[in-house]
Amino acid sequence: MGEILGGKRVRRNRRTDWSRRLVRETTLTVDDIIWPIFIIDGEKRREPVASMPDCYRLSVDEAVREAALAASFGIPALALFPCTDDALRDEIGSAALDPDNLVCRACWAIKEEVPHIGLVTDVALDPYTSHGHDGLLEGETIVNDETVRVLVAQALNQAEAGTDVIAPSDMMDGRIGAIRAGLDAVGFQDIQIMAYSAKYASAFYGPFRDAIGTNACLKGDKRTYQMDYHNSDEAIVEAGLDLDEGADMIMVKPGLPYLDIVRRLKDEFAVPTYAYQVSGEYAMICAAAQNGWLDFDKAMIESLAAFKRAGTDGILTYFAPKVAKRLSVGL
């Protein structure tokens, strides 16, 4: 049999653990992880998200504690998402511009106690609008340019609160250039922009919308501004525009169903490229593990390794604290 195969025995490199580690092509580390967390009003509140096991809506003081935990694990950054009280939502999302809103208060508090952790803040109006859309609504139309003007003001509000990275998830045309110009004009030229460049209109966002309270209020859908999941070339166009307008990093959302998009963007642009392992992906793995259908730790690590293999420089994932613990003891 050896004569038939000649020298081509690829299994030799797989025979032992030390050999597999030596020839491994990609490696997942804690440096690859951004932890998304949800913020709510009040004090000493940890409110479970029913559709996302082990995820909580946290009051600002609890978010500070989690930031300290994240820093102790070596997690580089948190991404903050507010669950705004219904009484503060309105047609124009005015709470997005309030310097005392949940995101701003969380930024101030975390930076005071855990100054060296990175903060990524979402720029979009859906957590603040009574209709649940990412932009301003006129009739049944999401209006682009009027929305962009509000997004610039929202970004400036977050910059004043101490965010490190502005992450526009709204998918309005031209918003990256407008936000970059707005930040630079008032001295925030060092704040980075992570563009949600390829954000698809996906069925995998349901648990997230539950977590921030937009499931109940969303009118219609978001297909006129989020991307059609049948399209791939369009992602190249979107990312190219964002980079031309000043984005420092680009992102694909959702993650696992769109690894082909990650690979195309990384190959095309060779810039820092991220993916968001969204709530639906997280919930599926958790549910299957709870039913005994797969091994939780192994599925978690394997799913995150897929992002690295596809070319990501980092992953936004709700598994962040769990994977950090797992990585600390070895795979």
Closest C-alpha to 133, from 165, 163, 172:
172
Helix (H, G, I), strand (E, B) or coil at 188: coil
Is 199 one of the catalytic residues?
yes
Distance CA(233)–CA(264), nearest Å, equals 9
SS3 letters for 109-151? HHHHHCCCCEEEEEECCCCCECCCCCCEEECCEEEHHHHHHHH
Could you give phi then psi for residue 159, rounded to 5 degrees?
-60, -40
- 199, 222, 266, 308: which one is catalytic? 199
Beta-carbon count within 10 A of 255 CB = 27
Token match 């005994």: residue?
292
Active site residue 322: no
CA nearest neighbour of 88 among 171, 186, 4, 212: 212
Residue 321's identity, in one-letter code, is P
Q: Which residues lie below 8 Å from residue 259, measured CB to CB, with a gap of 6+?
A: 275, 306, 307, 310
How far apart CA 120 and CA 163 sit, in angstroms, is 6
> In sequence order, which residues have a C-beta less than 8 Å from that of residue 288 and are 6 or more positions away?
294, 299
Active site residue: 111, 222, 253, 308, which one?
253
Give the residue numbers marked as catalytic: 199, 253
